[in-house]
Homo-oligomer: A and B are copies of this chain.
Amino acid sequence: MWNQQEIIFPPVERGFHLITGDVIDALPEIRNMQVGLLNLLLMHTSASLTLNENASPSVRRDFRSWFDSAVPERAPYWTHTLKGDDDMPAHIKTSLLGESLTLPVKEGRLALGTWQGIYLCEHRDSGGPRKVMATLWAEVGFGS
């Protein structure tokens, strides 16, 4: 069984944002699936998706600090500068983290580790809404 739909996330500030609950709420079909996979593609080039710690806001704050430090704005080697100081670093951060996740579904649930959550990583100061294409293919038969 295939299911494919877009999920729109409203604008968020630059940083790392936990969206596991939003993803699950947007995909109630998962509850009926015995075994399968969920592919998420963030359809942008200055924001990304990753899995990481789902409990401490300080982890997400430190993610921003490290990435801002490792991929600096106004570095002498940037030549693509017309779209703002945060644009080219946002492209690099996007590819370091990746725009896509493929996650297992097991017995009606996303089979993540206890401490794993899905992060929407917004690398621009005014990134606007972000669109995710969610593609689910699975064997139905669990639950009701």
- Flag whether A41 is at the interface (Cβ < 8 A): yes
With A41-B111, A96-B97 as given contacts, are A2 and B106 in contact (CB-CB < 8 Å)?
no
Chain A stretch 85-103: residues in CB contact (< 8 A) with chain B: 88, 91-92, 94-103
Total copies of the chain: 3
With A44-B115, A58-B79, A116-B99 as given contacts, are A135 and B37 in contact (CB-CB < 8 Å)?
yes
**Secondary structure type dominating chain A contacts:** mixed
Contact for A77 among B42, B44, B65, CB less than 8 A: B65
Give Cα distance in the complex from A131 to B2, angstroms: 28
Task: Report the interface size for chain A: residues with CB under 8 A from the other chain.
Answer: 59
Is B103's CB under 8 angstroms from A41's CB? yes
28 A-B pairs with C-beta separation under 8 A: A2-B34, A2-B36, A39-B102, A42-B113, A43-B111, A51-B100, A52-B91, A52-B94, A58-B79, A59-B91, A61-B79, A61-B80, A62-B77, A62-B80, A62-B91, A63-B92, A63-B95, A65-B77, A65-B78, A66-B71, A66-B75, A69-B77, A95-B97, A96-B97, A100-B101, A100-B102, A111-B133, A113-B131
